[in-house]
Chains A and B, each alone.
With several copies, the nearest count.
Chain A
Amino acid sequence: MKYIVAIIQPHRLEQVLRELDDSQIYLRTVTQVMGCGRQKGVTEVYRGNVEHGNLLKKIKIEIAVNEDFVEPCVQALMKGARTGKVGDGKIFILDLHECIRIRTEERCDQAIG
């Protein structure tokens, strides 16, 4: 099992969720985060004082999947999130040791879906 973490642009969220649905990956956890990458941060000005920020709003999506869903999931994420501009984000894949469904106490592969 793998634990996939994707950081994407906020305005691509709708698209990404739709692509995931199309790939029959319905389970996910979404968080609002701030990111700092290659993309130039924004400049904000308050009472004439300029502040060069470097954190931008991003969306983090976490998805736990069985091995055979890893590639479809990555493809869906990429399809939905890619604009080709700096700031599109990253996908991180971690090993998932165990997964438990709280409601049923099912474990592992049964639990993940």
Chain B
Amino acid sequence: MNEVFQVKGEVKMNRKVLWLAASLVFLLAVPAGADTGGTVSPADTAWLLVSTALVMLMTPGLALFYGGMLRRKNVLSTIMQSFFIICLIGVEWVLWGYALSFGPDLGGVVGSLDRLGISLSGLEPRDTVPGFAFIMFQGMFAIITVALISGAVAERMKFSTFFIFSLIWSTIVYNLLCHWVWGGGWLAKLGFLDFAGGAVVHISSGASALVAAILIGRRKCYPEKVVRPHNLTMTVLGTGLLWFGWFGFNAGSAITSGSLASLAFTNTFLSACAAGLVWVFIDWTRIGKPTVLGICSGAIAGLAGVTPAAGFISPNSAMIIGAVAAILCYYGVSVLKPRLGYDDTLDVFGIHGLSGTWGTLAVGLFATKAANSAGADGLFFGNPRQLLIQIVGIAAAWVLSVVVTYGVLKILDVVMKLRVSEEEEDIGLDLTQHSESAYTILE
């Protein structure tokens, strides 16, 4: 079905036509990629903009994924956190977040504030895409990372405190970690590999979620009562949107369109499939029934797990990574959590923390230069050093996240309280924090 077929006959050209052709190349190549100075490629830009839109959609998707698992009286409060984070971190990112993350490196630790604020210089290319496209793409990652944390403190955290926490957390944890890994910081220099955010996104949010869940304490009903998801179809829809958006998240992280993006796309998909299957089969063996929430959780675990590795490994490795992620996370949410007794409402640590950590480690095992010459070989391809580097990166991400989250939340608890009152928790956060209810009843 190639339109090439539509060009028929032989094209005979004399030298003049040749001249013309060549000059046209110069004149028109600009809109079409090939612009002078080797800059903006329309194809790469198209792919990156689409990916950016896809990643943006993940946060509303997450809001629904999370919201469906809560009780009716709290669904809006968690949705609100996601939507508010989009707006808040969206602005934070262009004001100072991007500068801290991607500004000229200062001692491997943080970006300099030279690029504070946003200006029309974003029209200029950054590699093959306009700066604006790159800024926006990266901004969507900053957003969803914070939004992820909201799942751990759902049904009890004060909105105002969450708001302040998000701003501080994003500035310190996210922007620093992002700089270390992607902005030319010390982890990047060390050779730490994180294709699309295993450490930057999933470890940071998962580890912080664990700390937050412990510090804020259990919900009144936990663990006596398993809170049933009030609307699993909403969670299913959220899963669909997350999965869809994740193609932009991982395959978009190639920044260019082509083989690398296609590889990352394939790995993303296969890891999710394998993880979904594995979770279902564990469910089936363990409790006798395959569950819908299980396949959704599995798919998300697989997606998170493959995120750091998507552009560095072969599809077979992706399936293994997904399968292991499902096993780990299943164990995390159904054995570890009840045993330890913390109340990580929506299993942000159990899913993202665990599979982010696993996936980042797995890069050190499965990465191969055959998949991506800009990557590295992992242990299984003869390079144990990469595994060590990955462990260093994982440790750094964990330490940064845990320490900062702990400190910030401790202070905020004193200053403005983390939790709503008991009565507000009984009535529900939608009414008490936002004066709204998700659904009417009588009509």
Contacts and interface: CB of A to CB of B under 8 A. Distances in A.
Are A and B subunits of one complex? yes
Interface of A: 9-11, 13-14, 30, 32, 34, 42-51, 55, 57, 59, 85
Nearest to A32: B442
B442 A59 contact: yes
A42 B427 CA distance: 10
Contact of B334 (A9, A48, A51): A48
A9 B224 CA distance: 18
Contact of A45 (B221, B289, B443): B289
Given A11-B426, A42-B431, A47 B334 contact: yes
Contact of A46 (B226, B431, B441): B226
A-B residue pairs, 9 tightest by C-beta: A48-B334, A51-B226, A11-B426, A45-B435, A47-B333, A49-B226, A45-B287, A42-B431, A44-B435
A86 B361 CA distance: 54
A9 B283 contact: no
B338 A34 contact: no
Interface string B302-345: 00000000000000000000000000001001110010000000
- From DSSP, what is the main secondary structure of chain A's interface residues? strand
A9 B334 CA distance: 30
Given A45-B283, A46-B227, 12 more contacts: A14-B225, A30-B442, A42-B435, A44-B435, A44-B436, A44-B437, A45-B287, A48-B282, A48-B294, A48-B330, A49-B226, A85-B423
Contacts of A42: 427, 431, 435
Interface of B: 69, 73, 221, 224-229, 282-283, 286-287, 289, 291, 293-294, 297, 330, 333-335, 338, 347, 423, 426-427, 431, 435-437, 441-443
Given A11-B426, A14-B221, A14-B224, A46 B229 contact: yes
A57 B440 CA distance: 10
A55 B225 CA distance: 14
B224 A34 contact: no
Contacts of B338: 49
Nearest to A14: B225
A45 B441 contact: no
B436 A46 contact: yes
A55 B426 contact: no
B334 A49 contact: yes
B442 A47 contact: no
B86 to A, nearest CB: 20
A48 B442 contact: no
B191 to A, nearest CB: 36
A43 B442 CA distance: 16
